Structure 1
Amino acid sequence: MTTVQTPARPLAYRNFRLLVIGAGTSSFGNSITPVALAFAVLALGGSTTQLGLVVAAYALADVATALFGGVLGDRLPRAAMMQGSAIAAAAAQALVAASLVGGWSSVWLLGAVGAVTGCLGALAAPSSSAMTRQTVPEPLLRKAVTQRRLTQNGAQIVGFAVAGVLAAGIGPGWAIAVDAATFAVAAVCYHLLRVPEPVRERAESMLHDLGAGLREVLRHSWLWMLILQALLYHLFYGGVQGVLGPVVVSATWNKATWGWALSALMIGFLAGGLLSLRWRPRRGLFQGTLLLALTGCFPAAMALGVPGTAGLLLLLGGAFLHGLGLELFSVSWDLSIQQNVPEDKLARVYSFDMVGSFVARPVGLALTGPVAALTGTTTWLWVCAAVMAGGSLLAATLPSVRQLHRHDPAPADEEPEPVASGA
């Protein structure tokens, strides 16, 4: 009997291409909106405090809704969840754009719609993360995870690069309209997805399903311990990036240098993704967790505060190493979840990962200023560097992290990709 060899590239699969295009387009648009929103709030006469509240509304709604998104992602067709969220988000962003272009917007409208958009994103995010496994054969899963992350990181870099130009050139309202259009494109891509639906457990109450997801997280000690490590990372690094970094770097060098540092960080992400395409460590989670300690280089370079060209190179190098280490860890982390969590609980596990990772970030943003004022900015940056690096190294000593091995299913002949009915 003639068989068809499994294509060696994830992008050879139509469903994976659609998923990557939709997710990449959304990432591009989502990078534009925060910049455009800042310009919009200030143009409406809002204060920096009001801008912070608008951004916080989005972030808090995102965290608060993620767990429900995980339950729904394991109950309902994930492509339908993603499509519905993208359509509603396109409408919400179109409303914001129209209000700004039409001159009838307000800071409170931006905050309210921002909260709605955050909820919509959180409802779909667990389904989106879990969808990768449904679009490629298992032997290609690592490549698929890496290529998807590369695409989304690249789209974010481009989005950040053009955001200020669009907001200044055509106005924040039209810039946000671009984001609305990207959600519409993503919705079309998700509508065209045709993936076989996994066998699902019988749906119970929302709380029962959440409890089942939590039990799955607690069943893997490497999983819940590294979620706690992520909570610690965001608690400390959130304030470094959002509060101290811009102030320290501007005072030591200039305002433009902070933009260069964030660009070096994103280049580190891309370098980590490209390296992951070739580097396939057997104990990927262990080695990725060790490399996560490189994130401490960025705040350490700020704390050193060496002026001049040498200090600038040190800062950019620290930012690059931060991005490199974080991306190498993230690829191994994502692959470990995909390979070790049952399909019918995957979205819920991703939702607990999202909440555990980001729930502490607003706390860090709020406390960094007062704590740094008490300890001194340089001292607090050193503390953040030590916690970020030391926490990662400590997590790497856990037996469950050291002993988790990558699954390597042998490539097998298979029939052409099935086309299943779906959303």
Structure 2
Amino acid sequence: MLRDTAFLRLWSGATASGLATWALPFVLGLAVLDRALSPAALGLLLAARTIGFLAAVPVGGVLADRHSRRGVVLWSGLVAAASAPLLAAGLGRSLPLMAFAAALAGAGQGACRPAFQALTAEVVDAGRRQQANAAMTLSVRVSTLAGPALTALLAVVLSTGALLLGIGVLWLAAAFVPGRRTPGTQGTPVAPANAHERPSFLAEFADGVREARRHPWFLATLAALTAVIATGYSATGVALPLVSRDRYDTGVVLAAATTAYTAGALAAALLIARWRPPSQGWAALAGLAAYGFAPLSLLFPVHPTAVIAAYAIAGVGIELFNVPWFTATQREVAPDKLARVSSLDFMLSYGLAPVGLALIAPAIDTFGPRAVLTVCALTCFGAPTAAALVPSARHFSRRRSPTEGPTA
């Protein structure tokens, strides 16, 4: 796939945006260590970024279907890049300026996500999209593994302000590196001939919701994905550090489990680039359900290797889900509504993840870790199983034997 120049440029831009997205909370965390930022201020900035993301995702989806997807990537990248010098200028001086800049960064991140998803369907022909999506997710996992070490090394010689400006450079790469689509591809947006005939923003977004409702497998799977991320991801973010500290009296379990998760996802991305299961929807949902092993391993006083193995299985499962999920969406959804439908995915699954993170700690304090982790594990296993009962979920298609191209 990376021999295709158009896809290589798209992949490079998406990788730069992923690195920038990941790096911001890490660099702001370094600012807390340097006492240039308080923990409360860090929480405020991350909340502002999430608000910007949630506000911009539906806007980016509509704009990417209404105009050039490449243009939306360009402008969203420029918006995110503009936040970097503002964050650097406000560091240690103006928290309101930093909060505004964090919201701006979230807006750029949110607007580009559905555009990148739809642009993949334009740049890559239908037969190679699963490989393309596997390559996209592979870059994310490699960044997650290599990013902390690289940032820590750079922090030795660069100030936090300089690192923030470096994030801006990554966003500039995300804005300018991807090339334009080639004419005649499936994902070409269909816009009204006359701007005065164009429906309102809300009407266009509602049209995307109606398109999503045409695909029962999409709605059922999205509900399952949202439930798994809100519970399993929250257990990883909050309960795993607590268990690592209180049960095993070391941070090694936390570090090893998160590394095993990423390594498992890397291995699965390489596998799914070639593997075509006959019932791809059921196989993907089984992978999603495998996340349940993560909170399940935290329930009992097992050996640390069991926790690490459970997180490796969860990593394998989530990638065996992600790639067919993205590929099926690109295949089945009407090309001129793809970005709007993708924005629903990002809004509900990733956008609502912070809600789970915010609720799980009070829930553990109120009901105890065992009860909360039990609910998380049962949700992770049960939600994908329920989604698999939807008839069209077996192949992630309303047709019995899906072929490439959107449904009528």
User: Which stretches in structure 2 are left out of the alignment for 5+ residues?
Assistant: 193-197
Q: Equivalents in 2 of 1:319, 1:108: separation in Å?
A: 38
Match for residue 195 of structure 2?
Answer: none
* Aligned-pair CA distance for 1:39: 2.1
Which structure 2 residues correspond to residues 24-423 of structure 1 after superposition, within 5 A? 24-41=15-32, 43-44=34-35, 46-100=37-91, 105-167=93-155, 169-190=157-178, 192-196=179-183, 198-202=188-192, 203-253=198-248, 254-306=250-302, 311-404=303-396, 407=402
Q: Equivalents in 1 of 2:191, 2:17: separation in Å?
A: 31
User: Cα gap change, 1:150/1:280 in structure 2, threshold over 3 Å: closer, same or farther?
Assistant: same
* Aligned-pair CA distance for 1:127: 0.6
Deviates more, 1:317-326 or 1:142-151: 142-151
* Aligned-pair CA distance for 1:229: 1.2
Q: Equivalents in 2 of 1:266, 1:60: separation in Å?
A: 27
Task: Provide, for residues 58-100 of structure 1, a one-character-per-residue CA deviation record: whole Å limited to 9, x for no partner.
Answer: 1122122211110001011111111111122222113323544
Task: Provide, for residues 209-249 of structure 1, a one-character-per-residue CA deviation record: whole Å limited to 9, x for no partner.
Answer: 01100000111111111111122122213431222221221
> Helix, strand or coil: the match of 1:303?
coil
Q: Equivalents in 2 of 1:224, 1:409: separation in Å?
A: 20
Q: Equivalents in 2 of 1:134, 1:51: separation in Å?
A: 38
Amino acid at match of 1:281: P
Q: Equivalents in 2 of 1:198, 1:20: separation in Å?
A: 19
Q: TM-score, normalised by structure 1?
A: 0.87
Using CA pairs under 8 Å that are at least 6 residues apart, name the structure with larger relative contact order, 1 or 2: 1
Q: Equivalents in 2 of 1:241, 1:331: separation in Å?
A: 22
Q: Equivalents in 1 of 2:239, 2:96: separation in Å?
A: 27
Task: Provide, for residues 392-423 of structure 1, a one-character-per-residue CA deviation record: whole Å limited to 9, x for no partner.
Answer: 1222222110254674559xxxxxxxxxxxxx
* Aligned-pair CA distance for 1:362: 2.5
Q: Equivalents in 2 of 1:27, 1:93: separation in Å?
A: 15
1:31, 1:163 within 8 Å by CA — same for their partners in 2?
A: no
> Helix, strand or coil: the match of 2:177?
helix
- Aligned residues with identical type, % of pairs: 30
1:94, 1:176 within 8 Å by CA — same for their partners in 2?
A: yes
Match for residue 420 of structure 1?
Answer: none
Deviates more, 1:70-79 or 1:197-206: 197-206
Q: Equivalents in 1 of 2:88, 2:342: separation in Å?
A: 31
Match for residue 16 of structure 1?
Answer: 7
Q: Equivalents in 2 of 1:47, 1:98: separation in Å?
A: 16
> Helix, strand or coil: the match of 2:276?
coil
2:24, 2:167 within 8 Å by CA — same for their partners in 1?
A: yes
Q: TM-score, normalised by structure 2?
A: 0.90
Deviates more, 1:48-57 or 1:68-77: 48-57
User: Cα gap change, 1:404/1:95 in structure 2, threshold over 3 Å: closer, same or farther?
Assistant: closer
> Helix, strand or coil: the match of 1:278?
coil
> Helix, strand or coil: the match of 1:142?
helix
Q: Equivalents in 2 of 1:291, 1:169: separation in Å?
A: 42
* Aligned-pair CA distance for 1:45: 5.5
> Helix, strand or coil: the match of 2:273?
helix
Task: Provide, for residues 39-58 of structure 1, a one-character-per-residue CA deviation record: whole Å limited to 9, x for no partner.
Answer: 22454464433322211111
Q: How many residues align?
A: 393
CA RMSD, Structure 1 to Structure 2 (Å)? 2.1
User: Which stretches in structure 1 are left out of the alignment for 5+ residues?
Assistant: 1-9, 411-423
Task: Provide, for residues 283-321 of structure 1, a one-character-per-residue CA deviation record: whole Å limited to 9, x for no partner.
Answer: 212211012111011111122232xxxx22111111111
Amino acid at match of 2:113: A
Q: Equivalents in 2 of 1:199, 1:88: separation in Å?
A: 23
